[in-house]
Amino acid sequence: MTNIHPGTVGQAEPQRPLRPLLDAVRVSKHYGSNEVLKDVSLQVAAGEVVCIIGPSGAGKSTFLRCINRLEVPDAGEVWVDGQAMGFEERDGKLYELTERKLSKQRASTGMVFQHFNLFPHLTVLGNVMEGPVRVQKRASRTVDAEARAVLERVGLGDKIDSYPSQLSGGQRQRVAIARAVAMKPLFLLFDEPTSALDPELVGEVLTVMAGLAADGMTMLVVTHEMGFAREVADRVVFMADGGIVEQGTVDEVLVNPREARTKRFLERVLA
Amino acid sequence: MSTPSARESVRELLPQVRLRHWGRWVIAAVILVILGALAYGASQGDISWRDIPYYVISPIILQGLVNTIILAVAAQVSAVILGVIIALMRISENPVAKWFAAAYTWLFRGLPVLLQILLWYNLALIFPRLQLGIPFTDVVFVDLSTNAVMTTFVAAFLGLMLNESAYMAEIVRAGLNSVDRGQIEAAQSIGETPLQRMWRIVLPQAMRVIIPPTGNDFINMLKGTAMASVIGYVELIRAANNIASFNLQVMETLIAAAFWYMVIVSVASVGQSYLERSFDRSDRARGGPTRRARRRLARDLVTPPLVRSHP
Ligand SMILES: Nc1ncnc2c1ncn2[C@@H]1O[C@H](COP(=O)(O)OP(=O)(O)O)[C@@H](O)[C@H]1O
Ligand SMILES: [Mg+2]
């Protein structure tokens, strides 16, 4: 596995800190009468790779989007590195932040979307530099060098001046990963990053993701790629009907699941 | 080479007789005859063609040209700014702002521009003075005679600008809506603030949808300024009439004005396609096919060369 991480976040300690990096506490969300998330709690330690699996409609995407607050949970809290997402903690209360301040908070998290969502009017390099330059206000000279290095490491060093429309799906998703990584986030959220790809392009994206994991990046990955989960995940979470049905190591969940629903799901996807 | 289709034919090529498009020749001839007749008719008219170039560059007409351009640009630029604000209100989460924007569009798009110009120009009939102060007190910051404020330019500007801003609001709204929601989410995910999302991500993409109809509107605006002549603003048509009122060369001066309309409209059209091109690079490689090449490609796709009946 090539080292594809810019190295600044890479040297995470293997032992778990006392406080989890990400702590979602009893997150609930409904759309109309549809209870999409029911009291979902999940902790992720620094350096951990957690894969979320589950049937379509289980609420996996909604849960991920509640974590970086693209979606506002109806109830529950999401703590990232000791800060409540979307809130400011003052004298025992949580005061909701303005959209501006929430944006600042979000900059410490990264997200990779199923449909890439690259900025079509910016070049590959422009996409990767957008966050560090505009949000983190870092000098574009240093950002430029870093962005090129990140793109080099996802194997797109020769596509720097291309526009997204000129790239294959696999290349676009690697740019999207580079765009998220360039922000040096505390963790990365992946929402089915390979589901929109032609089968022959899935591998190149999974390789990049496995490289990130090997470098110690904290990752929360919604995926249907059981092979990836088996090889890379420290922990597997099975979600269904807006809740976590069971979670554990690869062996516990993917090999010897306890719950009947997990068994049925695995039989279906592995058939 | 066992299948019959893979064998080479022994058939001789026969001479082909192409279809003659007699109908096209007939129609072309009819059009040319009609044009010729019109040109002859025009030359017989009681009009002194020789005077027209003189009117084209006469100071009065040129002043009218400048006034036309000033009014059109001022009204269009203000309408774009106001239109963006109304569009943002329309898509906002605030129900009062949403409602206001919808009512605004409904009102200013619904009334004829000429009527709006006349209403503004005659505002003094119902409000002789314009005051800015605190109601129910004697505090007055500004107190002006309405007639002093509501010059012909201001009245025409307000009428044209407010009407156009309602159209611009709709154009901008369509442009903003054309941008994929995922774009905003991606911008959010890297921590961009609402202003940055709008300015860096949404607007540049919306421009491709906004610019073509805005260009059309500006061309209409250039011509729409003619309505200001009704209240006495000296734009091109009023300037032409002012000359004609002395020497009765009504047609000659109007044709001079027509000449200038064609010039500014043509210039605006060129500017529009230039702008469109500069906002259209997102799906195009540097050094990739040019717009003209893509247009040719699109045309060829509609009429594949293989089935053309004509060489
Ligand atoms: N914006 C929304 N409005 C209404 N319903 C939604 C919205 N987003 C998701 N849902 C519903 O929430 C449920 C869970 O969706 P999602 O989180 O996308 O599931 P998953 O990612 O596990 O397939 C689905 O029933 C879906 O229809
Ligand atoms: Mg989903």
Judge whether A118 and A172 are in contact, CB under 8 Å. Answer: yes
Number of residues in chain A: 271
Helices (H), strands (E): how many in chain A?
Answer: 9, 12
Chain A residues in contact with B289 by the CB 8 A cut-off are none
A131 and B194 within 8 Å at the Cβ level: the answer is no
pLDDT per residue as tens digits for the range B80-128: 999 999 999 999 999 999 999 999 999 999 999 999 999 999 999 989 8
Which atom of ligand 1 is closest in space to residue A64's alpha carbon?
A: 17
B185 and A70 within 8 Å at the Cβ level: the answer is yes
Closest by CA position to A48, among listed A78, A77, A13, A85: A13
Chain B residues in contact with A108 by the CB 8 A cut-off are 191
Chain A residues in contact with B201 by the CB 8 A cut-off are 119
Q: Can you identify the CATH homologous superfamily of domain A22-270?
A: P-loop containing nucleotide triphosphate hydrolases (3.40.50.300)
B200 and A109 within 8 Å at the Cβ level: the answer is no
The answer, yes or no, to whether any atom of ligand 1 lies below 6 A from the CB of A72, is no
Which pLDDT value is given to residue A268? 92
Judge whether A108 and A81 are in contact, CB under 8 Å. Answer: yes
Tokens standing for residue B104: 């605004």
The minimum CA-CA distance between B118 and chain A, rounded to whole Å, is 44
Residue type, A122: L
**Per-residue pLDDT for A217 more than 60?**
yes
- How many Å lie between the centroid of ligand 1 and the Cα of residue B128? 60
**Domain ranges, ordered by start, for chain B:** 57-279
Cα distances (Å, whole numbers) of residue A96 to A84, A212, B71, B232, B290: 10, 33, 47, 57, 50
User: Which of A99-103, A135-139, A243-247, B50-54 is predicted with the least confidence, judged by mean pLDDT?
Assistant: B50-54
Strand partners, A84: A79
Residue B138 C-alpha from the chain's centroid: 46
Which pLDDT value is given to residue A2? 42
Q: Which ligand is nearest to the CA of A192?
A: 2
Helices (H), strands (E): how many in chain B?
Answer: 13, 2
| Distance in angstroms (rounded) separating the CA atoms of residues B191 and A182 | 12
What residue of B is the nearest CA neighbor of A66? B189
Band of residue A179 on the pLDDT scale cut at 50, 70, 90: very high
The minimum CA-CA distance between A189 and chain B, rounded to whole Å, is 10
Band of residue B302 on the pLDDT scale cut at 50, 70, 90: very low
A131 and B183 within 8 Å at the Cβ level: the answer is no
Q: Which of A27, A30, A34, A239 to mutate to test the pocket of ligand 1 (most atoms within 8 A of CB)?
A: A34
DSSP A113-168: -TT----TTS-HHHHHHHIIIIIS---HHHHHHHHHHHHHHTT-TT-TT--GGGS-
Which pLDDT value is given to residue B280? 72
Which residues have C-beta within 8 Å of that of residue A202, sequence separation ≥ 6? A170, A194, A225
Mean pLDDT over B134-144 rounds to 86
Residue A205 C-alpha from the chain's centroid: 14
Judge whether B71 and B157 are in contact, CB under 8 Å. Answer: yes
Maximum Cα interatomic distance, chain B, rounded to a whole number of Å:
106
Which pLDDT value is given to residue B309? 37
Handedness of CA B171, B172, B177, B178 (dihedral sign): positive
A119 and B183 within 8 Å at the Cβ level: the answer is yes
Band of residue B181 on the pLDDT scale cut at 50, 70, 90: very high
Judge whether A204 and A155 are in contact, CB under 8 Å. Answer: yes
Q: What is the mean pLDDT of chain B?
A: 88
| Distance in angstroms (rounded) separating the CA atoms of residues B243 and A251 | 95
The answer, yes or no, to whether any atom of ligand 1 lies below 6 A from the CB of A155, is no
**Per-residue pLDDT for B63 more than 60?**
yes
| Distance in angstroms (rounded) separating the CA atoms of residues B182 and A89 | 30
3-state SS, residue A35: strand
**Residue B134 touches partner A, C-beta closer than 8 Å:** no
- How many Å lie between the centroid of ligand 2 and the Cα of residue A264? 19
Q: What torsion, rounded to 10 degrees, do the Cα atoms A251, A257, A261, A262 define? A: 10
Cα distances (Å, whole numbers) of residue A68 to A22, A65, A108: 11, 6, 9
- B57-279 maps to CATH 1.10.10.10: no
The answer, yes or no, to whether any atom of ligand 1 lies below 6 A from the CB of A7, is no
Which residues have C-beta within 8 Å of that of residue B154, sequence separation ≥ 6? B120
Q: What is the ipTM of this complex?
A: 0.91
Higher pLDDT, A11 or A56: A56
Strand partners, A79: A23, A84
| Distance in angstroms (rounded) separating the CA atoms of residues B95 and A140 | 41
CA triplet A58, A62, A67: central angle to 5 degrees? 130
B-facing residues of A in 133-172 (CB < 8 A) are 134-136, 161-163, 165-166
Tokens standing for residue A122: 């910016």
- How many Å lie between the centroid of ligand 1 and the Cα of residue A35? 10
Judge whether A76 and A26 are in contact, CB under 8 Å. Answer: yes
Q: What is the mean pLDDT of chain A?
A: 93
